[in-house]
Amino acid sequence: MFIEDDWQPLSEMFADEECVRYTIGTPQPDWWTWRYLATYLGHWQLRGYGPYAVVEKASGQLIGPIGLWYPGDWPEPEIKWSIRKKFWGQGFAQEAAKAVKAMAAKELKWHRLISQIDVDNKRSIDLAKRIGGIYEKTVPFRNRFANIYAYSLIPEPNYQFVTYKNHIDDNMLYQLAEIYIECFTGPPRYEDWNNEKALAELKKYIDAGADFIVVVNNAHEAMAFAIGMPLINFYNYQELVSNGAKENSYYFNTSCTKTKYRKQGLGLSLHNKRLELGEQKGFNTFCVRVRSDNDTNIHLLNKLGFSEISSYTSTLAGSTAKRLILEKVIKN
């Protein structure tokens, strides 16, 4: 927590043109900094959380404010960091920001945070990416533009994400088939799947070189999974292209979560993992086909910056429904 003695170190930071270039814009006098110090403390009173006064262990000197930040004109809670120039490039912001993420997941049980960063602030953008931030969109903010980077928070470290490609052992494959059947034979899909058909469908994607991202708990049980792949490798890609999808897209195929593990943020985490994986492979365009009545998934995808580009009606596994194609383009 901040104390009044932090006023002078903060004044040094807020008077430094490089430190404030992408935040408040211009250096500020001491009296203004004192008010900002009071704002940090007031944020804790109003929200019950806020920025921490991060100090260097060796010297006890204030590094800067790093923590949770949610003023009235912010879109949602973010991880904030501002550090004195003398501490730049030493990894303090990254270490502290990771700790804030872990705290928000474990103590507050949050599933999501953002960082809202000026489009020209390359140092902070690089930091956001290093701690798991996924670019969502660019928004106008206070007469400039800011990028929104989102963090998917894992509530407890009792599961891990495992990526499979080209081969999945039989035990895991059967587990995925069971999840597939559970998700797609019930409402609202009511599709015609059994174990044999589900296994054949999953093996089709394995043979096509798809990426399988599986959430596995400590008991080696598959909790959820998602499939991603270059759209041109999808066996029915021509249908999607004819309805507006771009051939050079990374395609979000199936995403399934066991019923008992739903509402834990796994779906959003899997979407983010696919975005991250697609970016690593050099893709900046992503697409997904989703039933128009799948409100939950559409809501998650909209939060990640996907928007509808077309709709059409088709039949899949005996179930006829209106389907939407959603797209997200990441600007470099």
**Same-domain status, 133 and 190:** no
Angle at 263 between CA 261 and CA 265, to 5 degrees: 95
Q: What is the mean pLDDT of residues 204-210?
A: 96
Helices (DSSP H) in the chain: which residue ranges? 7-14, 17-20, 30-47, 92-106, 122-130, 170-184, 195-207, 237-242, 266-280, 295-303
In this structure, are 169 and 263 located in the same domain? Answer: yes
Nearest by Cα to 33 from 63, 4, 61? 4
Instruction: Examine the domain organization and report whether 308 and 175 are in the same domain.
Output: yes
Tell me the CA distances in angstroms from 176 to 157, 182, 202, 220, 254, one per residue in order.
22, 10, 8, 12, 11
Tell me: do 231 and 112 sit in the same domain. Answer: no
Which of 152, 182, 201 lies at the terminal end of a domain, its last residue?
Answer: 152
Instruction: Please tell me whether residues 69 and 142 are part of one structural domain.
Output: yes
Burial class (CB in 10 A: 0-12, 13-18, 19+), 205: buried
Q: What is the pLDDT of residue 319?
A: 79
Q: Which two structure tokens, joined as six digits, stand for 38? A: 């009071």
Least confident of 15-19, 186-190, 291-295: 186-190
pLDDT value at 162 more than 60: yes
Tell me: pLDDT of 213 over 90.
yes
Same domain, 228 and 297: yes
Looking at residue 85, the DSSP 8-state letter turns out to be: G
Question: Domain check: are 163 and 300 in the same one?
Answer: yes
Domain end point (choices 152, 174, 193): 152
How far is it, in rounded angstroms, from Cα 43 to Cα 63? 19
With 90 as the cut, is the pLDDT of residue 188 above it?
no
Q: Are 27 and 129 in the same domain?
A: yes
The confidence score (pLDDT) of residue 184 equals 86
Q: For residue 84, what are the domain limits? A: 4-152
Residues 57 and 168 in one domain: no
- pLDDT band, residue 189 (cuts 50/70/90): low
Please tell me whether residues 185 and 311 are part of one structural domain. yes
Q: Is the pLDDT of residue 104 over 70?
A: yes
* CA–CA dist 268, 299 (Å, integer): 10
- Token reading at 198: 């589900």
Total count of domains within the chain: 2
Stated pTM of the model: 0.57
Percentage of residues in the chain with pLDDT exceeding 70?
Answer: 97
Residue 77 has a pLDDT of 97
> Is 155's pLDDT higher than 70?
no
Task: Provide the pLDDT for residue 1.
Answer: 85
> Average of pLDDT values for 82-92?
95
Based on the domain organization, do 124 and 238 belong to the same domain? no
pLDDT given at position 154:
62
Where does a domain end: 126, 152, 178?
Answer: 152
Calculate the average pLDDT of the chain: 93
- One domain, residues 134 and 208: no
Residue 229: pLDDT band with limits 50, 70, 90: very high
| CATH number, residue 299 | 3.40.630.30
